[in-house]
């Protein structure tokens, strides 16, 4: 980011607007939403600004402008309507130590005014660092449609009741209370116009401590997808934002953790191939212990928790301990890899069977049975199988002599450094070695429909910003 978003305290602070026309009026409309003390400096004012001065909303100054004009200001807006005058005023304001916004001249701005969705005290600011104001307005329109008009009133009510909640409820119970307020009956009642009923319901919940919140701890096994931040599900994001503690694997996009609640504890448990920093038994025991302490736990796994992610050990332990849990699915690596190359994993005319299997078992690398039994019309997606590639080649050559198999290798699917390689089966080992692919790859093996097609290895490098 070139700019840092921040909400400034404005109550009782001085704001200077220089200019008396429409541009100045636009800034006045914006800043008068706050409790700032607004001064407008200009020889004359347009009717709108004159009306605001007459109503006592701001004061009008006509005296000479000097650097002292800008002393002790929270913000200064320069909007004379003349670029040359604006530049001179900018220099004067900076000499006076002001934080300056010059209309339509981003290079002279210390601060940029965002598009605002106002549900006071809920305020959403959208900025594009001055590059695309039309886009900012489009986003603002979408949010205006999404956030109900009375949401700010509900937030204000919650603010008035925070002290009462803090006096009667512990930290975990308070989080559950406010989650319930903004996700459940109180918000529905408020949105429907039943503000009084909503307020009574919230006050009763604070008094009794009963509001439908889940008692005790729980565990969510959340699939993070192939690693890209935007491929985790909405439910997965919600669980991250609710979590007290997150146990995560070797995530491929660290920004995924930024989706979590800021004060959630984050614990790295390794799970990189060949160098598990935590053994599975320790991870399982830790999940159980955290839930027994009453924490809301997320076990964040790459891909989908139900596909080669060792979730069974964890869910069986949770069941045995009577701990509530859920599995939140994610995009598995085979689907991500196929999407990267713009292909379907099945084809009505050519591929009617899809097999997901692994070349790495608990006792080491092994050729999986589906490879031995491969038939025409089958696509086998191999997870964690780079290390067993030589055995796979040898096995298929023995079991299916004279048959051509097409192999596609997708490394680091949907992530920076993604690589896509196509080769004949007999060239697989040399292809992997030539491109230094040792792990983090899906291998697709298909019975070729074009036995006489010439081998044409290709490489596709996708770089993501």
State the catalytic residues.
Answer: 249, 271
CB atoms within 10 A of CB 186: 26
Task: Compute the Cα dihedral for 429, 435, 438, 443 and give only its sign.
Answer: negative
**Is 221:327 a contact under the CB 8 Å cutoff?**
yes
Half-sphere exposure of 99 (CA within 13 A, CB side): 11
Distance CA 241, CA 243 (A): 6
Distance CA 314, CA 221 (A): 9
Helix axes 280-292 and 311-320, enclosed angle (nearest 10): 40
Q: How far is CA 204 from CA 23, 51, 209, 407, in A?
A: 49, 46, 8, 64
- For 199, the enclosing helix (H) or strand (E) is helix 195-208
Closest CA to 442 of 415, 407, 416: 407
Closest CA to 309 of 332, 285, 326: 332
Distance CA 240, CA 222 (A): 9
What dihedral angle (degrees, nearest 10) is formed by the CA atoms of 82, 83, 85, 90? 130
Distance CA 418, CA 428 (A): 18
Q: What share of the chain is helix, strand, coil (3-state, %, to 5)?
A: 40, 20, 40
């Amino acid at each position: 980011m070139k700019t840092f978003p921040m909400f400034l305290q404005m109550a009782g602070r001085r704001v200077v607007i220089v200019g008396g026309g429409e541009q100045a009026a636009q800034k006045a409309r914006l800043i008068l939403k706050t409790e700032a003390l607004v001064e407008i400096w200009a020889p004359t004012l347009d009717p709108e600004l004159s009306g605001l001065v007459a109503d006592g909303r701001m004061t009008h100054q006509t005296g000479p402008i000097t650097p002292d004009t800008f002393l002790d200001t929270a913000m200064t807006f320069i909007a004379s309507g003349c670029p040359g005058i604006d530049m001179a005023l900018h220099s004067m304001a900076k000499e006076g130590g002001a934080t300056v916004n010059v209309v339509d001249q981003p290079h002279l701005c210390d601060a940029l005014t965002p598009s605002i969705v106002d549900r006071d005290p809920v305020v959403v600011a959208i900025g594009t660092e001055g590059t695309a104001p039309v886009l900012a307005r489009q986003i603002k329109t979408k949010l205006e449609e999404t956030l109900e008009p009375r949401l700010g009133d509900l937030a204000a009510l919650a603010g008035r009741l925070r002290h009462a909640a803090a006096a009667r409820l512990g930290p975990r119970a308070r989080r559950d209370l406010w989650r319930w307020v903004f996700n459940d009956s109180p918000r529905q009642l408020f949105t429907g116009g039943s503000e009084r009923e909503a307020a009574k319901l919230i006050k009763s919940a604070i008094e009794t401590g009963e509001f439908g919140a889940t008692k005790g701890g729980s565990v969510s096994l959340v699939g993070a997808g192939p690693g890209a931040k935007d491929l985790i599900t909405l439910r997965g994001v919600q669980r991250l934002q609710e979590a007290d503690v997150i146990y995560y694997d070797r995530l491929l996009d660290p920004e995924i953790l930024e989706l979590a609640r800021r004060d959630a504890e984050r614990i790295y448990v390794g799970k990189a191939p060949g160098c598990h920093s935590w053994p599975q038994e320790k991870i399982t025991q830790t999940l159980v212990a955290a839930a027994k302490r009453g924490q809301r736990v997320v076990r964040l796994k790459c891909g989908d928790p139900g596909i080669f992610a060792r979730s069974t050990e964890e869910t069986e332990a949770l069941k045995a301990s009577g701990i509530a849990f859920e599995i939140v699915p994610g995009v598995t690596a085979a689907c991500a890899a196929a999407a990267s190359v713009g292909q379907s994993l099945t084809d009505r005319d050519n591929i009617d069977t899809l097999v997901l299997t692994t070349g790495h078992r608990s006792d080491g690398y092994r050729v999986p049975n589906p490879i031995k039994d491969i038939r025409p019309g089958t696509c086998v997606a191999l997870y964690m199988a780079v290390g067993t590639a030589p055995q796979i080649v040898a096995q298929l050559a023995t079991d299916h002599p004279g048959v051509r198999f097409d192999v596609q290798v997708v490394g680091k699917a949907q992530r920076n450094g993604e690589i896509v390689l196509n080769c004949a089966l007999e060239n697989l080992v040399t292809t992997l070695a030539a491109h230094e692919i040792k792990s983090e790859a899906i291998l697709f093996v298909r019975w070729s429909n074009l036995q006489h097609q010439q081998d044409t290895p290709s490489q596709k490098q996708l770089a993501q910003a």
